[in-house]
């Protein structure tokens, strides 16, 4: 394992506790009990924070990517990240990093995605120390993706609490880990519509209901801000000290929605690292998420599309 790089000023640190080696392929049709021939097989480094780091790199934003990696699969994941030009801090574990599979059925254009929980992490205290060492002078820390077995659900909260005051923290996770952050941490969270429903215990569907649900999250917890993503409708930003506002993207014909949420987080992080305010950061995030839906499969956003969309995001 390489020595831990230090983040430089204006750098974003992304943290991925449960990365995956993403394996994707396509078949004409999924048929049970038959050997199927696959085309277009790809192996890519994946997981929430990894994808955020890949987008940040494309946008030209300085970034250090912290990943938990184990076994031959973890070694391949780290190598693929470094081959893309990413600066990687790898926290070694014994068990193999997980693999995930995405199969596209070309006859219907449906995609089937299969994921596993991931390897067990034993040294939780060492993991936290390594993350804090990797932060360096980073202005923004992104904690994205699921929490692996062995890591307590309040781990993100205790890690955020240990960061230097003034560090902007963005959390994009789900389940009990997201609920813990929403209740106890002054972070920026980015729930999807489904994750927002889990936080409040009911299903918001209309824009008015989403505004109500986000208000409940703000009132009940300590979060600095909620950026609730709603696909082609854009995102709702709510903070503790300002009126909620919608960020609506330009209309586009989507090709694939895979990676749109990670692209949005990357756009927000890149802007905050440059010293922009949260409104401008969400505007860039929505532009990046919109650009991501124009690319096929798991392909990431094109920076040229991000640049041309950002001025067309409407704030209301």
**SS3 state at 223:** coil
96 is catalytic: no
Quick one: how far is CA 287 from the chain centroid? Answer: 15
Nearest by Cα to 83 from 61, 40, 54: 54
Q: Which of 262, 280, 305, 311 is the catalytic position?
A: 262
Tally Cβ neighbours within 10 Å of residue 242.
11
Element (H, E) at 278: helix 278-292
199-223 core/surface letters (b: 16 or more CB in 10 A; e: else): bbeeebeeeebbbebbebbbeebeb
> What gap in Å lies between CA 304 and CA 290, rounded to an integer?
12
Compute CA distances 201 → 79, 187, 197, 214, whole Å: 41, 21, 6, 12
Is residue 220 within 8 Å of 183, Cβ to Cβ? yes
> What gap in Å lies between CA 36 and CA 26, rounded to an integer?
10
Angle at 187 between CA 181 and CA 191, to 5 degrees: 65
Burial class (CB in 10 A: 0-12, 13-18, 19+), 70: buried
The torsion of the CA quartet 239, 48, 149, 135, rounded to 10 degrees, works out to -70
Q: Which residues are catalytic?
A: 262
């Amino acid at each position: 394992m390489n020595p831990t790089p230090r983040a430089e000023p204006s750098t974003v640190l992304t943290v991925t506790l449960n990365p995956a080696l993403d394996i994707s392929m396509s078949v004409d049709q999924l048929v049970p009990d038959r050997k199927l021939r696959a085309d277009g097989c790809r192996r890519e480094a994946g997981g929430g924070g990894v994808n955020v780091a890949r987008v940040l790199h494309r946008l030209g934003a300085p970034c250090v990517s912290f990943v938990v990696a184990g076994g031959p699969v973890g070694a391949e994941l780290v190598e693929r990240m470094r081959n893309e030009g990413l600066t990687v801090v790898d926290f070694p574990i014994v068990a193999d990093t997980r693999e995930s599979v995405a199969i596209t059925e070309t006859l219907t254009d449906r995609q089937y995605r299969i994921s596993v929980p991931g390897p067990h992490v034993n040294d939780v205290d060492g993991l936290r120390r390594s993350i804090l060492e990797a932060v360096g002078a980073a202005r923004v820390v992104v904690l994205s993706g699921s929490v692996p077995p062995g890591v307590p659900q309040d781990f993100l909260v205790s890690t955020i609490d240990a960061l230097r005051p003034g560090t902007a923290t963005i959390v994009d996770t789900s389940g009990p880990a997201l609920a813990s952050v929403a209740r106890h941490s002054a972070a920026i969270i980015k729930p999807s519509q489904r994750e927002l429903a889990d936080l409040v215990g009911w299903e918001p569907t209309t824009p008015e209901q989403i505004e109500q649900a986000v208000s409940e999250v703000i009132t009940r917890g300590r979060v600095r801000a909620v950026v609730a993503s709603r696909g082609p409708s854009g995102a709702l930003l709510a903070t503790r000290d300002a009126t909620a506002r919608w960020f609506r993207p330009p209309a586009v014909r989507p090709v694939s929605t895979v990676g749109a949420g990670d692209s949005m987080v990357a756009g927000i992080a890149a802007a905050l690292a440059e010293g922009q305010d949260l409104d401008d950061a969400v505007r860039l995030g929505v532009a990046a998420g919109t650009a991501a839906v124009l690319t096929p499969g798991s392909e990431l956003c094109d920076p040229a599309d991000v640049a041309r969309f950002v001025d067309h995001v409407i704030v209301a």
